[in-house]
Amino acid sequence: MNPINIDYDKCTGCMACRNICPTGAIKIKINSKGFEYPDIDKNICINCGICDRICPITINKKEPKRITNNPIKVYAAKNKVENIREKSSSGGVFYEISELILDKMNGCVCGAVYDKDFEVKHIMTSKKEKRNYMQGSKYVQSQMGYLYKEIEEKLKNNQVVLFTGTPCEVDGVYNYLASKNIDTTNLYTCDIICHGVPSPGIYKQYLKKLEEKFSSKIKSINFRYKENNYTQNIKIEFENGKQYISNYFKGDELYNLFLKDYILRDSCYRCNYASTKRVADITIGDFWGIEKTIENFDDKKGVSLVLINTEKGKAIFGKVSDKFNLIESNIEDCMQNNLKKPCDIPQNYDELWKIYEKNGFLGICDYIKNL
């Protein structure tokens, strides 16, 4: 098998190409850094070229075609129900939008969940119980599988679909559906302010290290456990009743590698989507720095930044806005690094990955202690 004809350092892994391939010639291969990449089986490929024609990297070149101008509206949002906000990454916005889709519009929701082995995968569901598993951040790249095909079928049957994910995944969905001439009237999209996607390979070895340390299988993972007025704790519960709670400041290795930008996908350092111009109807994220612009609103339990990018997004958010304590803001007051530019490649990036290839995750755990 030979690699698909795109720049590997720019491939986001959206897997639109894999979903569109008419012969199933595009397989998955894992690179040395633990990320999924498309691979073409030349024995099956019929050289139709559709994979290149719908690839966001090939199509967009410099800037995504479906990108919006600056947001129509900007809000700081806190869900009025404390229990919902506690289980959410920040202010509980995704929950209310998905509730509307499921309850009032008889639709389906697509988002990232943990499977039984705690790998992260995108699924579609019309069930609230499964939707609940989508709440909360998962700091690892999600596997798309053949979800785009499922979205296509739902839209063909005039069902409403909400897709949530990173901006490159949203763009992949739009490109796939456009290539099939699918009416997207019933498709709503929500992207996140993405810091970059960490390596699934690193993540797996991190979990293995903790299971060995605690002599037990993992029972649950929460990357945004809210404790002591801090919303970025990781909490892992084990089947033997023990638990692990840590964060960047306490020296958690995964948080350390992630927030110092060492373990992101190559394309994340060249991201075309790190901008106030967005591809989704609505963008959500943490409202970092809110205390500098909006006094007495941050209660240290999570505040969402909501960017309303399209009239479609404005309409659907308007139907749930009464669920929140809202303050209107502006793009200047909510600016953060990943709305300006991609993450920078760290100075010791190449050296760290050489150590990883030689000594694995334990090797880089020792290495980062000295950075």
pTM of the model: 0.94
What is the distance between the alpha carbons of residues 108 and 147, in angstroms, rounded to a whole number? Answer: 12
Strand order in the sheet with 282-286: 120-125, 108-114, 161-165, 187-192, 282-286, 304-308, 73-79, 324-328
In the predicted model, is pLDDT for residue 186 greater than 90?
Answer: yes
Share of the chain above pLDDT 90, in %: 83
Q: To the nearest 5 percent, what fractions of the chain are helix, strand and coil?
A: 35, 25, 45
* pLDDT top residue among 7 and 300: 300
What integer pLDDT is reported at residue 22 of this predicted model?
95
pLDDT digits (tens, 9 = 90+) for 89-141: 999 999 999 999 999 999 999 999 999 999 999 999 999 999 999 999 999 99
What integer pLDDT is reported at residue 6 of this predicted model?
59
What integer pLDDT is reported at residue 57 of this predicted model?
81
* pLDDT top residue among 162 and 3: 162
Is residue 150 exposed (0-12), middle (13-18) or buried (19+ Cβ within 10 Å)? middle
